[in-house]
């Protein structure tokens, strides 16, 4: 009897589920994402006269164009983590490049919820979700994730689909890293002669030097955009050929700003503003925010994309998602602010946050002793990067160019984006904008609190703090309450703004993260008192490796390299590669000040290559240890090559 009842109930449940799926298939739109990599709004429909993008421009005329859409990070993997989860990367611990932190079990990628609604989901082809849970995300999210994944592979032709196409043609590798020969063979050869951009006509922003290399690279970037436009046209034609164009909502956007210097990796609009076009067929026009061909001024962030797709598909938006739908049945009120983050990218350490309203952009650089134009192994393979490294002082160059290449940044930046769309004139010190600055500081601090931004704990320390859990769940433990996190944020907010006594007080804290920011605060000072030097020397014995590294960096930058170098060299032998990378990058940035580190950095290069062979592609994700080994190799080789170059000059 029990068996019979169980069978009846099971059949009834299955019929109910099938009915729900059938209803979804009848009413829900197909949704396609076409995602270009490393591309700002360099399109004809965004009034770029140098661009040749007829297919995308036609999509813009048939759809709506967003004027203020922004990535959550100016680099791909953290931005992709946000897109797939609907959560800010600093809340999940996925803010540094190649993060291996796991996600909580409830966060496995929003397409999984579409599959529950009866959708067929495909991803072609990139994943790189920047988390140790990437396998679980792929398994839960996609019916197919491969270089052949396509809506055409769905088992039932009336089944709704969500299909993502990631177009690599505009990626930094193609636009500036590949050899000229490889670029011509694999990209430019797909253009006719009259489609190839003339370097002499290339539009150069005022923060670029006008040299043949720069002009050729800018033209090459636009060639990549033109080829990408052809790929977009091919996908749209497939929809038309399959008779699906009238049933499909199409998104076109890029994953962040272009891969060119001062764009990718920067929280300026050049790195964060993205094109976003959405086409609504006639049957879904009720969800369109404007008529075809019109511009939408609403602020949109990547964190909103997942809930928006769920809203369009009629799926329930999970409570954990931090974004808000901007389309569909569950569309929320327009947001006033979008937020960005910049953290470690490959071997380059950093921590900066941004707040962008419709008019003003605020950037808080928590490591102002590090400039925008830091050496970075992967993009430095491009010739254009070295055009900037040749500029070593401000004489004879424009102020915007010098502001990019100089070795430091201001702790705070404020730009009026209506009057200054290229973000050239920092208004942070302007008395007329003091109230704007104060307001955006408050918005920024409130965002850190509400999202529980965990990046203010050094990576090596974070692995111990979150051991046995994941950053998201760990942040909800009592020791990470709002008051404790707020205190840490306020300590970090002293960097670049407070006087030395504040940082000396922080060095006495019982919390390692507070001591860490105390040392960074002294690093960013122009000069150090004798008292500060003594306190830093004492801190070289701190129990926390991250604190010791920060103290050594501060000392070495202020003439104390003799005592700092042995500490940094010693940490290159550490078992934790997070610690090793931190020490190695610090040595690389100190350069000649710690020339004594040459033998140890040579040993590190050998150790790193044993873990990850040097011929492994830099963009290929392996194990967390192997990725860290690659970044250690980047830092070691960068330091050694610079020392060798200096030696050759002195001969």
Measured CA to CA in angstroms, residue 173 lies from 221, 345, 389, 581 at distances of 10, 16, 20, 24
The contacts of residue 640 (CB under 8 Å, 6+ apart) are 598, 601, 602, 605
Residue 88's nearest CA partner among 107, 68, 106 is 107
SS3 for 370? coil
User: What are 57's two structure tokens?
Assistant: 């421009």
Distance CA 469, CA 249 (A): 38
Separation CA 600–CA 586 (nearest Å): 13
Q: Name all contacts of 522-530 with Cβ < 8 Å and 24+ positions apart.
A: 522/554, 523/369, 523/550, 523/553, 523/554, 523/557, 524/367, 524/368, 524/369, 524/411, 524/495, 524/496, 525/500, 525/554, 525/558, 527/558, 528/500, 528/554, 528/558, 529/500
| 193 CB neighbour count, 10 Å cutoff | 5
CB hemisphere CA count around 557 (13 angstroms)? 26
Contact call for residues 273 and 304 (beta carbons, < 8 A): no
Chain position carrying tokens 């491009």:
382
How many Cβ atoms are within 10 Å of 146's Cβ, its own excluded?
12
- In the annotation, is 76 catalytic? yes
- On whether the CB atoms of residues 45 and 278 are closer than 8 A, the answer is no
- Six token digits for residue 111: 């397409």
Residue 545, token pair as written in the block: 């490796």
Burial of residue 575, with CB atoms counted within 10 A of its CB: 0-12 exposed, 13-18 middle, 19 or more buried = exposed
d(CA 386, CA 303): 35
Q: Are 289 and 296 in contact (CB under 8 A)?
A: yes
How buried is 611 (Cβ within 10 angstroms: 0-12 exposed, 13-18 middle, 19+ buried)? middle
* Residue 416: strand pairing partners: 360
Cα separation of 586 and 524, whole Å?
A: 14
How many CB atoms neighbour CB 326 within 10 A?
24
The first and second tokens of residue 186, run together, are 């694999």
Report d(CA 54, CA 41) in Å as an integer. Answer: 14
Q: Is 392 helix (H, G, I), strand (E, B) or coil?
A: coil
- Going from the C-alpha of 39 to that of each of 166, 254, 302, the distances in angstroms are 12, 6, 15
Residue pair 367/524 in contact by the 8 Å Cβ criterion = yes
Catalytic residue among 45, 76, 87, 417: 76
Q: How many helices (H) and strands (E) would you count in the chain?
A: 25, 12
- CB distance 459 to 484 below 8 Å: no
Residues that are catalytic: 76
């Amino acid at each position: 009897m029990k068996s019979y009842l169980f069978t009846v109930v099971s059949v009834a449940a299955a019929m109910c589920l099938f009915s729900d799926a059938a209803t979804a298939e009848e009413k829900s739109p197909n949704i396609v994402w076409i995602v270009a990599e490393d591309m700002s709004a360099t399109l004809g429909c965004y009034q770029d006269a140098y661009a040749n993008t007829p297919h995308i421009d036609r999509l813009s005329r048939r759809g709506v164009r967003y004027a203020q859409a922004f990535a959550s990070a100016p680099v791909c993997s953290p931005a992709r983590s946000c897109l797939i989860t609907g959560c800010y990367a600093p809340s999940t611990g996925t803010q540094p490049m190649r993060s291996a932190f796991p996600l909580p079990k409830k966060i496995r990628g929003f397409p999984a919820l579409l599959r529950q609604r009866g959708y067929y989901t495909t991803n072609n082809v990139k994943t790189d979700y920047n988390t140790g849970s990437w396998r679980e995300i792929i398994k839960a999210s996609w019916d197919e994730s491969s270089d052949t994944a396509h809506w055409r592979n769905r088992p039932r032709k009336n089944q709704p689909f969500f299909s993502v196409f990631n177009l690599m043609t505009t990626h930094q590798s193609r636009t500036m890293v590949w050899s000229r020969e490889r670029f011509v063979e694999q990209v430019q050869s797909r253009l006719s002669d009259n489609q190839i951009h003339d370097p002499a006509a290339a539009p150069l922003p005022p923060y670029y030097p006008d040299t043949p290399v720069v002009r050729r690279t800018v033209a090459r970037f636009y060639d990549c955009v033109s080829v990408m436009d052809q790929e977009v046209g091919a996908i749209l034609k497939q929809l038309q050929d399959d008779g699906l164009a009238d049933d499909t909502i199409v998104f076109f956007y890029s994953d962040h700003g272009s891969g060119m210097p001062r764009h990718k990796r920067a929280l300026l609009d050049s790195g964060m503003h993205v094109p976003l076009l959405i086409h609504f067929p006639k049957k879904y026009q009720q969800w369109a925010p404007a008529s075809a061909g019109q511009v939408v001024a609403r602020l949109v962030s990547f964190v909103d994309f997942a809930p928006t797709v769920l809203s369009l598909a009629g799926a329930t938006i999970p409570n954990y998602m931090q974004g808000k739908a901007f389309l569909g049945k569950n569309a929320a009120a327009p947001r006033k602010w979008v937020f960005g983050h910049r953290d470690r990218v490959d071997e380059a350490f950093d921590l900066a946050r941004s707040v962008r309203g419709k008019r003003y952009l605020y950037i808080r650089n928590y490591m102002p002793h590090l400039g925008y134009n830091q050496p970075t192994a992967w993009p430095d393979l491009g010739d254009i990067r070295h055009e900037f490294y040749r500029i070593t002082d401000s004489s004879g160059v424009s102020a915007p160019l010098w502001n990019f290449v100089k070795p430091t940044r201001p702790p705070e930046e404020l730009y009026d984006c209506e009057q200054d769309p290229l973000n050239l004139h920092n208004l942070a010190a302007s008395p007329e904008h003091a109230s704007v600055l104060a307001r955006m500081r408050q918005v920024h601090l409130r965002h850190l609190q509400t999202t529980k931004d965990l990046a203010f704990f050094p990576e090596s320390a974070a692995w111990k703090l979150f051991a046995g859990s994941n950053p998201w769940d760990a942040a909800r433990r009592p020791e990470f309450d709002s008051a404790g996190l707020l205190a840490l944020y306020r300590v970090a907010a002293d960097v670049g703004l407070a006087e030395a006594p504040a940082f000396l007080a922080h060095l006495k804290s019982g919390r390692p993260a507070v001591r860490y920011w105390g040392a960074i605060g002294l690093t960013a000072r122009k000069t150090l008192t004798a008292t500060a030097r003594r306190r830093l020397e004492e801190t070289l014995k701190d129990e926390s490796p991250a604190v010791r590294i920060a103290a050594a960096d501060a000392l070495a930058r202020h003439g104390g390299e003799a005592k700092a170098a042995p500490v940094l060299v010693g940490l290159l032998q550490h078992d934790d590669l997070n610690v090793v990378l931190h020490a190695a990058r610090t040595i690389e940035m100190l350069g000649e000040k710690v020339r004594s580190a040459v033998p140890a950095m040579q040993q590190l290069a050998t150790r790193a290559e044993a873990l990850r062979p040097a011929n492994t592609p830099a963009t290929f994700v392996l194990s967390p240890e192997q990725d860290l080994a690659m970044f250690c190799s980047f830092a070691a080789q960068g330091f050694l090559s610079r020392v060798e170059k200096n030696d050759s000059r002195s001969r």
